[in-house]
Structure 1
Amino acid sequence: MAQPNPLTTPPPGTDTYAGKGEILHPAEQHAFPPFETHTFLAQIVWLALAFGLLYYLMSKIALPRIQGILHDRATRLSADLDEAQRMKAEADAAGAAYEKSLNEAQGKAREIAQETRNALSAEAETKRKSLEAELNQRLAASETTIRGRTEQAMGNVRTIAGETATAIVERLTGQAPDQASVERALNATAH
């Protein structure tokens, strides 16, 4: 006789699987455990106890903690948003103050530049006028000196011309001309 294969043969006293076409006796059939009617009441009781305990734990322990965390987070977010709004307002105020001070500084710089231009212009005008006055004085002094020297030179020319004319007439005629006739001749040629 052949020995049964221990890997494929179930041990004695265990339920065997119904093969194709075999029908098991109702006492041998097993339903899905939650649908078994003889354990249905116990399952309902345990379900109610587990649900009640879970509901109690959630409502008294877990949910208050979660609610506290959410409240703290909302409070922190609100505080952070308020702080950000305050900082934005400060930054806007600082920006406006900076713009105002920048405009004031630019206005003051323009005023200082205009005052400096006016002062330099007035100083340059004063220097120009003093230089013009000095130049006019020098020019007048030079013109006076030139006129004096011109008159002196012309006086010297007249004297030299008179002496030269007297020497020429004396050489040509052999006698010295009278001084009145030389003066008349010089006057006639001068005009």
Structure 2
Amino acid sequence: MAESHATGTTTHTEVPHGKPEFPPFNKDTFASQLVSFAIAFALLYVIVSRFALPRVGGVIKTREGTIEKDLAEAQAFRDESDLALKAYETELAAARTRAQAIGSETRDTLAAQSDAERKAVELSLSAKLAEAEKTISDMRTKAMGNVKAIAADATSAIVQQLSGTAPDAQLIDRAVDASLKGGRDAA
């Protein structure tokens, strides 16, 4: 290929035969690359540890604090809702008990009123029945008295019609009494 010669210096522009080496694997520059890598790593470590990690750590702490706060708040709400549920269940049980007591009291009151009214009606009916029986007895007695008089008059009229003479009033009364009583005490 071509060689160029300058005054006092020789420049080599010729490419060696074969493939060129990848620069990081070049043995001649390997030591300087390690030093550059160590410096870059140290510089990157300082930047990350002094600037990036504190920010990330702050964000993580903030997120942890927010999460813990949210969890504590959620637990507080849960505890509050549990207390409200227990209070609701207690009130519901108390209301059921009161409702049962009111129902029982009302049932007992109505039963007592009904019993009192029934007794009053029974007493009234008993009084009316006794009065009706007395009235019936009085009417029967009066009717029997009228029957006796009518029977005595009819018997007297029949005997007079058949015999032509007026019968004795006492004898007719005894015969009518015996007939009404079911006996045979006739003369």
| TM-score interval, normalised by the smaller of the two chains | 0.7 to 0.9
Q: Secondary structure at the match of 1:38?
A: coil
How far, CA to CA, are the matches of 2:177 and 2:140 in structure 1? 17
* TM superposition outliers: structure 1 runs of 4+ over 6 Å: none
Aligned residues: 169
Structure 2 SS opposite 1:45: helix
2:94 to 101, 104, 113: 104
1:48 maps to which residue? 38
CA deviations 1:122-152 (Å, max 9, x no partner) are 1101111111111111111111111111111
Q: Are residues 1:77 and 2:67 paired?
A: yes
Asked if 1:27 is matched to 2:12, the reply is no
In the alignment, which residue of structure 2 is the partner of 1:4? none
- Structure 2's unaligned 5+ residue stretches are 3-13, 182-187
Structure 1 counterpart of 2:94, which letter? E
Give the match's secondary structure for 1:190: helix
CA distance in 2, matches of 1:61, 1:74: 20
Q: Root-mean-square deviation (CA), in Å?
A: 1.8
TM-score computed with the length of structure 2 as normaliser: 0.84
- 2:117 aligned to 123, 127, 130, which one? 127
Q: What is the percentage of aligned positions where both structures have the same residue?
A: 40
Q: Give the structure 2 partner of residue 39 of structure 1.
A: 29
For residues 63 and 15 of structure 2, what CA distance do their matches in structure 1 show?
61
Please say if residues 24 and 30 of structure 2, whose CA atoms lie closer than 8 Å, have aligned partners that are also in contact: yes
Q: Distance in 1 between matches of 2:31 and 2:153?
A: 171
Unaligned stretches of 5+ in structure 1?
A: 1-11, 14-24
Whether 1:66 aligns to 2:56 is yes
Offset from partner CA, 1:53-90 (integer Å, 9 cap, x none) = 21111111111111111111111111111111111111
